[in-house]
């Protein structure tokens, strides 16, 4: 079967690109190894319950943000959206509960109450201003990172003087910023910042540059949403849009090889083969490079590949609970002594909405729990039960989940994540931020500078769904511009 464009994987970056390319009238095919679309931003069904696969929060519908851009470009509607009045609560090691309000003034007042008044206003005013500018410039400069003269020409056309204010932030870390505001000795605040950065930028303040770090810290200051039925109902409207434009989604098709041909590419899968003029890979760069037999391409891309030692995996739990009224759905618990076996210092839990009866029967609800594990390939977990017990005990101590509320529980290690998603090492969240890699040194969307492109969380890492959505926008635009479609 021949296509204009084949997309490898149906993660949200791929689906974003597929929607924009199918809108142009191209014949689009999507190859997905699983039986559900959406990759790490979807839901799966088990024993009648719908659990989130990876991501649990939805951000990106505010002005100048990628998800809003996608919906406006396509006219896609998201049913069952519920705006969260409070995006999250954080439980500090000293027992204090921090409420992460969306409204900036309300959040600053809370930060001053918890961490002291010194420089909190100045720090958060600056971070929020940078984050808004980052998202606005990201959509203005859709040829970034640059790798051709055409990119530079497009960048010049999209240049606005205000974009220059972001440049210094690429050379400073979040640790530098905390020092600038004399917050580097505030241990309670430093611990808070580090654990918040870990769940959004996949790294700590010593490594994360200010551009990514400020943006990551401020995601609760934007509109956060819950989707009835889970994030599968973010993915399905995009799938439907693509299908209505003639696209085809092939499930159970794990790609095993990519070979350049006279008129494009030959793609082999676990069930057959396909041909296409162009490719967009939405799977991690580690997985993508393994599909090519081209040694020169391997050598050229090797500098962009992160080994397991520089990545994070996750230990996850999916709970079925007796329903309890909850005003706040997302919580992060900081653990001063760390979890046994893996030593993770925080856990993140997301509950299904009280009014959403589509993910669990009446009187019940589901919850998703995750915690980071560094170097997933080098961390084989033999004692899952110890970790599970420690997490349940921490949730009970915080009065979030009591043992008698738990109807069922299942947990998964990075090995299980790798088995089900096929992501290299079972890594989650994309490539972490490292200070030695400047934004313009990240991998461009072009894979081979012929007809193969890349999107997903190893292109625009961190920042969740909104980041991978941006990566799909950029990949589609570069393909269209390069090929003059």
- For the chain, the domain total comes to 3
Note the pLDDT of residue 297: 87
320 shares a domain with 271:
no
Name the residue among 82, 99, 131 with its Cα closest to residue 466.
131
Taking the CA of residue 306 as centre, how many other CA atoms within 13 Å lie in the half-sphere pointing to its CB?
30
Residue 264 lies in a domain: yes
**Helix/strand/coil percentages in the chain, nearest 5:** 40, 25, 35
441 shares a domain with 300:
yes
pLDDT confidence tier of residue 463, bands split at 50, 70 and 90 = low
Name the residue among 353, 360, 367 with its Cα closest to residue 85.
353
Distance in angstroms between the alpha carbons of the first and the last residue of the chain: 21
312 shares a domain with 422:
yes
271 shares a domain with 342:
no
209 neighbors 127 (Cβ within 8 angstroms): no
How far is it, in rounded angstroms, from Cα 162 to Cα 326?
42
Residue 145 lies in a domain: yes
Q: What average pLDDT is seen over the chain? A: 94
281 shares a domain with 367:
no
Q: Which helix or strand (DSSP H or E) is residue 108 part of?
A: helix 104-115
188 shares a domain with 176:
yes
Pick the more confident residue, 385 or 294: 385
Chain centroid to CA 418: how far? Answer: 17
How far is it, in rounded angstroms, from Cα 220 to Cα 87?
6
Residue 97 lies in a domain: no
164 shares a domain with 20:
no
Domain-ending residue, one of 389, 404, 426: 426
Name the residue among 244, 268, 306 with its Cα closest to residue 430.
306
313 neighbors 427 (Cβ within 8 angstroms): yes
209 neighbors 169 (Cβ within 8 angstroms): yes
Map residue 120 onto helix, strand or coil.
helix
328 shares a domain with 290:
no
419 shares a domain with 313:
yes
Residue 401 lies in a domain: yes
Q: Residue 231 above 80 pLDDT? A: yes
Residues 6+ apart with CB under 8 A from 244: none
Domain-ending residue, one of 406, 426, 446: 426
Residue 17 lies in a domain: yes
392 shares a domain with 286:
no
Q: What is the dihedral of CA 7, 484, 142, 159, to 10 degrees?
A: 180
Report the CATH number at residue 250. 3.50.50.60
Name the residue among 75, 472, 31, 481 with its Cα closest to residue 245.
75
pTM for the full model? 0.96
Residues 6+ apart with CB under 8 A from 298: 289, 292
Residue 100 lies in a domain: no
Residue 90 lies in a domain: no
pLDDT confidence tier of residue 432, bands split at 50, 70 and 90 = confident
- The string of pLDDT tens digits covering residues 123-162 is 999 999 999 999 999 999 999 999 999 999 999 999 999 8
Range of the domain at 125: 105-113+120-219
Report the CATH number at residue 368. 3.30.70
Name the residue among 135, 141, 244 with its Cα closest to residue 477.
141
């Amino acid at each position: 079967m021949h296509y204009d464009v084949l997309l490898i994987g149906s993660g949200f970056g791929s689906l974003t690109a597929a929607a924009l390319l199918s809108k142009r009238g191209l014949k689009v095919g999507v190859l997905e190894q699983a039986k559900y679309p959406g990759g790490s931003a979807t839901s799966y069904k088990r024993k009648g319950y719908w659990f989130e696969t990876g991501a649990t929060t939805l951000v990106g519908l505010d002005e100048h943000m990628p998800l809003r851009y996608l919906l406006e470009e396509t006219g896609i509607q998201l049913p069952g959206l519920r705006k969260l009045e409070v995006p999250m609560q954080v439980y500090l090691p000293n027992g204090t509960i921090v409420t992460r309000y969306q409204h900036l003034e309300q959040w600053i007042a809370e930060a001053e109450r918890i961490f002291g008044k010194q420089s909190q206003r100045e720090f958060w005013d600056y971070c929020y201003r940078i984050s808004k500018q980052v998202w606005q410039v990201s959509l203005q400069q859709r040829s970034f990172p640059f790798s051709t003269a055409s990119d530079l020409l497009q960048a010049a056309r999209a240049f606005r003087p205000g974009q220059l204010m972001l440049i210094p932030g690429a050379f400073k870390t979040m640790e530098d910023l905390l020092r600038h505001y004399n917050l580097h000795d505030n241990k309670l605040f430093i611990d808070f910042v580090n654990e918040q950065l870990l769940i959004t930028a996949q790294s700590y303040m010593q490594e994360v540059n200010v551009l990514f770090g400020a943006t990551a810290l401020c995601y609760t200051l934007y509109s956060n949403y819950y989707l009835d039925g889970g994030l599968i109902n973010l993915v399905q409207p995009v799938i439907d849009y693509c299908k209505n434009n003639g696209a085809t989604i092939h499930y159970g098709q794990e790609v095993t090889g990519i070979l350049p041909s006279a008129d494009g590419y030959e793609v082999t899968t676990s069930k057959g083969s396909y041909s296409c003029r162009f490719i967009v890979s939405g799977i991690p760069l580690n997985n993508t490079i393994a599909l090519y037999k081209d040694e020169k391409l391997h050598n050229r891309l090797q500098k962009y590949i992160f080994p397991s030692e520089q990545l994070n995996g996750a230990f996850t739990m999916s709970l079925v609970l007796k329903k309890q009224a909850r005003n706040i759905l997302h919580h992060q618990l900081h653990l001063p002594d760390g979890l046994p076996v893996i030593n993770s210092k925080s856990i993140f839990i997301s509950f299904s909405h009280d009014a959403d009866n589509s993910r669990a029967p009446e009187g019940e609800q589901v919850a998703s729990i995750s915690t980071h594990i560094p170097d997933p390939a080098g961390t084989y977990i033999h004692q899952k039960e110890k970790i599970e017990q420690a997490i349940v005990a921490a949730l009970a101590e915080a009065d979030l989940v009591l043992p008698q509320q738990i109807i069922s529980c299942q947990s998964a290690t990075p090995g299980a994540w790798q088995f089900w998603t096929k992501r290299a090492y079972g890594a989650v969240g994309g490539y972490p931020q490292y200070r030695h890699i400047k934004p313009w040194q990240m991998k461009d969307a072009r894979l081979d500078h012929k007809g193969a492109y890349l999107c997903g969380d190893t292109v625009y890492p961190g920042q969740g769904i909104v980041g991978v959505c941006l990566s799909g926008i950029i990949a589609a635009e570069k393909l269209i511009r390069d090929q003059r479609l």
